[in-house]
Amino acid sequence: MKRFACPLLLQLLLLPVAVAAPRDDYAQQWPLTLARDDAGAYRVTLDENVYRQLQDPVIGDAVVLNRDGVAVPTDVFAPQEPLAKPALRVALPWFALPSAPADGAQGWELVSQADADGRLRRVEVRTRDAASAALPRNALLVDVSRVHESIAALELQWQPVESLDLGYRVEASDDLEHWQPLATRGRLVDLTREDRRLLHRRIELYGLLPQYQKARYLRLTPDRADQAIAITGVAAELAASRTPAAPQWIEPTGHGVEARGAASGTVFEFDSDGRFPIAQADVVLPGNNAAEWRLESRDDADAEWRLRAGPWVAYQVAGATGTRSPVRVLDSVVRDRHWRLRANTPVAQVPQLRLGYRPDVVVFLAQGPAPYVLAAGSARARRADAPLSQLVAGMRRQRGADWQPTQAYLGTPQPLAGDRALAPVRDWKGWLLWAALGLGALVVAGFALALLRRPAPGANAPPAPEGDTPA
């Protein structure tokens, strides 16, 4: 039994331990609102709150979980990827309503059920009299609560008709009770004459963005109640832009430090408190000023500082026109937490360091039951590799270069394991392994010592009688 003691001990120590649920490995989660339920592949843009939870330099501690807490295929795409641009067209939920009667008296009421984020789950029209029940349902209630981009126009589809020429007025609301008329009108046209067809499906909204961009619902009411039309689909055409989005900025608090070694001049240190993909930098001081700066960073407090930008001169000249130096573009994207500014001349005040970035885009596949959440912030958990870049490339070969996953949006953050998930990992398994190896070495040494103390075979046997030695 002794010869099996050490191997058996090692096997017991190396047995896999019980794995915690994925949610227990992350600090926070963000509920995700999907622009469409049936898209399959989605993308979500990270925000400042997510970056302040991330621990891994390559954003490995961000993953999407389904309702059962199971991780779905997830990957992070760089900010410069074309995935960051909004989709051109999004299908919208819609509900048919009775048109307004000629006398203006509404003989029906609307009963609806919505989620906390405003998404309509059920809409029921209850009529009060036979005349209201007989009205054609050519008015529309359109749910735009899940669209966060600017909508340029609505495009409607309908079943074939002999002729259609119908004007629509548009109203916006947040609660389905109070409606604000918008200064726009739509006109749906579907006319045929001598084998020629005149077709117009769009209702323009682009010029009215400030009036309705925060509204959750749109109502389209026809000018007449005598025109029957069977709507089959409503889509939003988004005000897409091919130009890169403006960078977002963080302004970490800094403090002066004593210059040591090669860090001559005036030195200030800053902590970004997050894994932001920093690509630009700017230095701000009050009044008229000019100084030559070097910007350095490091990921760990014990690591060496690395030059990221400079030397460059940042200046500001006050006056009627006001002139400032342009922002400094870094040679590459940097996700370090610790930053240092060095000036070659004395600077009395702590400068304001502004760090600019463009958010990353998380792409995931909808696997398992909804709803989905983005979990982020962990010192020990890392998501599994997923070939989503190949998936995106394949989809674009099939559907065109402009294809991209459907938009999803971050909700209000919710705590999971909190600071426990961010605490440094203690390698207790490694220590146990070394302890097992040390114990095994002691056992082997004990066996060797016991063998050395054991007398040799025949050492205590009596001597043979004289004269009996064979010839």
**Would you state the structure tokens that stand for residue 364, as one six-digit string?**
């995931």
Would residue 466 count as lying in a domain? no
Q: Which pLDDT tens digit goes with each residue over 239-252?
A: 765 556 789 999 99
Residue 196 sits in a domain of what CATH number? 2.60.120
103 and 79 within one domain: no
**DSSP notation for 241-286:** --SPPPPEEE---EEEE---TT--SEEEEEE--S---EEEEEEE-S
How would residue 423 be classed by pLDDT, with cut points 50, 70 and 90? confident
**Would you state the structure tokens that stand for residue 276, as one six-digit string?**
């932001």
What's the CA gap between 73 and 75, in Å, rounded? Answer: 7
Residue 9: pLDDT above 50?
no
> Which has the minimum average pLDDT: 164-173, 381-390, 431-440?
431-440
- Strands (E) in 366-426, as ranges, are 373-376, 406-410, 414-415
214 and 105 within one domain: yes
Residue 298 sits in a domain of what CATH number? 2.60.120.260
| Phi and psi torsions of 444, nearest 5° | -65, -40
Cβ atoms 270, 253 nearer than 8 A: yes
158 and 274 within one domain: no
Would residue 449 count as lying in a domain? no
Average pLDDT for 188-214: 78
229 and 125 within one domain: yes
Last residue of a domain, one of 238, 257, 288: 238
Residue 428: pLDDT above 80?
no
Would residue 266 count as lying in a domain? yes
What's the CA gap between 76 and 43, in Å, rounded? Answer: 9
Nearest residue to 76 via CA among 45, 98, 30, 54: 45
Domain that includes residue 210, residue range: 89-238
Cβ atoms 41, 366 nearer than 8 A: yes
Average pLDDT for 155-166: 90
Would residue 309 count as lying in a domain? yes
> Which has the minimum average pLDDT: 11-20, 182-191, 267-276, 450-459?
11-20
Nearest residue to 201 via CA among 238, 164, 150: 164
Contacts of 420-426 with C-beta under 8 Å, sequence gap 24+, read 421/24, 421/25, 421/26, 421/27, 421/377, 421/378, 421/379, 421/380, 421/381, 422/27, 422/53, 422/55, 422/377, 422/378, 422/379, 423/379, 424/379, 425/379, 425/380
394 and 286 within one domain: no
Would residue 2 count as lying in a domain? no
219 and 190 within one domain: yes
Last residue of a domain, one of 301, 324, 357: 357
Would residue 457 count as lying in a domain? no
Last residue of a domain, one of 238, 270, 287: 238
188 and 115 within one domain: yes
Q: How far is CA 343 from CA 50, 255, 271, in A?
A: 32, 14, 18
314 and 395 within one domain: no
What's the CA gap between 281 and 434, in Å, rounded? Answer: 47
93 and 80 within one domain: no
Predicted structure pTM score? 0.69
What's the CA gap between 108 and 7, in Å, rounded? Answer: 80
Average pLDDT for 14-31: 69
Q: How far is CA 88 from CA 41, 45, 91, 235, 429, in A?
A: 16, 17, 11, 10, 52
Residues whose CB falls within 8 Å of the CB of residue 20, separated by 6 or more in sequence, listed in order: none
Number of domains in the chain: 3
Confidence at residue 131, expressed as pLDDT on a 0 to 100 scale: 62
Confidence at residue 2, expressed as pLDDT on a 0 to 100 scale: 44
Confidence at residue 87, expressed as pLDDT on a 0 to 100 scale: 60
Cβ atoms 212, 220 nearer than 8 A: no
Let me know if 146 is exposed, middle or buried by CB neighbors in 10 A (0-12, 13-18, 19+). buried
279 and 145 within one domain: no
123 and 209 within one domain: yes
Residue 306: pLDDT above 70?
yes
What's the CA gap between 126 and 336, in Å, rounded? Answer: 59
181 and 117 within one domain: yes
Residue 220: pLDDT above 80?
yes
Average pLDDT for 176-185: 84
Q: Which pLDDT tens digit goes with each residue over 278-299?
A: 999 999 988 888 999 999 999 9
